[in-house]
Every structure is written in structure tokens, then in C-alpha cells.
Amino acid sequence: MTVSACAELVERGDPDRFRAVMAAPVEARAQLFPLYAFNLEVARAPWVTQEPLIAEMRLQWWRDVVENAASGAARAHEVAGPLHELIRDFGLPVAVLDRLIAARRWDIHCEPHEGIDGLAAYLEDTGAGLMWLAARALGAPEAAEGPVRAYGWAAAAAMYIRAVPELEARGRQPLPAGFGVQGLAQRGLEKLAEARRARKVVPKEVAPALLAGWQAERLLWQAVAGRSSPELSEARKRWALLWQALTGRW
């Protein structure tokens, strides 16, 4: 039930976000690691079993944990305990946490998203919601929600595009009929531009929450250019993260 346990989970299961947190100031890590560990637990719940009912039960358990955060239920869990403290100490919006969990129900089943709007809502509730939660945990004001969510959506789109081949290999239908990777990448770049137009309302103290999107722009441009499985070299990853961490620009 410690932040270090959450950090170990993220390091093993979500190495890109682990890198982003380690590039953040030390004082931000106590908020970011439990939140990203929670996201990891929820994201992998649909994939650890081939039984849809069991996967649904796992997600429902997390929804109950979030709903009853004030009661102290499940505090002994290595992630639920620190998550409860975040909700209590920083006033994280429970509704946003719940939508993040509920959106992962799509990963359980093999049906496609309900058109472009369905995919957009999935990215909004997962990636955009997570980035807004991270920003709130670092003290973001309500006025910052728009640009933070837009940046989170763009980052989520980039990661989703990168995952399309694996999703297809697992029998999912990640993209709506008639809507390809290039179209999603273009929407991601539009969201990125939207975020940057309004970034003046995002205080610099919130910048560590945005480090998780450090690869987004480069991956999206690769996808727009026709690369079906965009990826950055290790050298470019290190440079892009270092630049964003040092400058605070996104």
C-alpha cells in the first residue's frame, strides 16, 4: 500500500509512463504513480481472462472501490489504498474515475466502436480523462480542463494507433468502418493544436502531468504520413522526453 509498490507496477506494465514520471520533479511522483498504477490495473483487467463475465466483475470491483473511496473499503490493496488517499487529499472527481473504468468495457468484447463518435468518446474517457486526473492531482484549476483534456486526447490517439495491430491480432475491431489510422491521427493533431491554443491557462506546476504525452506529436505525424505502426527510436524518445521535461513546453 505504498507509492513505491505503485511505481514498480508502472515500471513493469507501462514503461513509457514510468519514464515520464521519473522525468518529473520528485514531489510530483507521489501523486502520479498511484494514478498511473490504477489506470494500468483497469486497462489490463479485460485482458487477464478469456471469460467476459470475470472481466466485467474485475471492472465493477474498481468502480465500487472508486464509488466508496470515502468509506476506506479495499484500502489494503496495493493500488486502491494510495488511490483512496489521492481522492481524499486532492479531491479527484469520482465521476471521471468511474467513466475511465466503464470505458474499458469495450476492451472485453469484440464489437467495434459505435462509429467515429464512439471511438472519440472512448479516447475522451480513457486518455483524456486520465490526463485531467493527473493534472488535478497536481493542483490544476478548473479553467485548465479544456486544454489538458485536448492534449490527453491527442496522446491517447497516438497510443491507440500504435496498438491497432495488436488489437486486431486479438480479434478486436479498433477502427470504425471507413475510418482509418490516418483519419484518427489527423484528429489527434487537431486536438493537439486546440490544446496549444489555450495552454496559457495551464499553470507550469501542472506540466509533469502532461509529460505522459511527450511522444504524441511525432507518432501522429508518422501515422498521417502513412506509417501503420508508428514508433520512435530509443534515442528520439529520450531526447523528446528530456526536451519537454526541461522546457515545460508541450
pLDDT of residue 74: 59
- Kindly tell me if the per-residue pLDDT of 118 is higher than 90: yes
Q: In the chain, where are the structural domains located?
A: 1-109, 110-250
Q: Output the pTM of the full model.
A: 0.95
pLDDT band at residue 120 using 50, 70 and 90 as cut-offs: very high
Q: In the predicted model, what is the mean pLDDT of residues 236-248?
A: 95
**Is residue 208 a contact partner of residue 32, using CB atoms and an 8 Å limit?**
yes
Q: Which residue has the cell 489521492?
A: 86
pLDDT tens per residue across span 155-210: 999 999 999 999 999 999 999 988 999 999 999 999 999 999 999 999 999 999 99
pLDDT of residue 110: 87
d(CA 191, CA 195): 6
pLDDT band at residue 31 using 50, 70 and 90 as cut-offs: very high
Task: Show Cβ contacts of residue 217 under 8 Å, excluding neighbours closer than 6 positions.
Answer: 154, 158, 189, 192
pLDDT of residue 42: 97
Sign, Cα dihedral of 152, 65, 140, 25: negative
- Kindly tell me if the per-residue pLDDT of 73 is higher than 90: no
Higher pLDDT, 110 or 76: 110
pLDDT of residue 76: 66
d(CA 88, CA 39): 18
pLDDT of residue 181: 95
- Kindly tell me if the per-residue pLDDT of 71 is higher than 80: no
C-alpha triplet 10, 227, 103: angle, nearest 5°: 45
Q: Torsions phi, psi of 168, nearest 5?
A: -65, -40
Task: Show Cβ contacts of residue 113 under 8 Å, excluding neighbours closer than 6 positions.
Answer: 106, 119, 122, 173, 174, 175, 176
pLDDT of residue 75: 62
pLDDT of residue 63: 93
CA-to-CA dists, residue 129 to 52, 125, 151, 205, 209, angstroms: 24, 5, 10, 19, 12
pLDDT band at residue 78 using 50, 70 and 90 as cut-offs: confident
Q: In the predicted model, what is the mean pLDDT of residues 104-128?
A: 95
- The chain-wide mean pLDDT, for the chain, equals 94
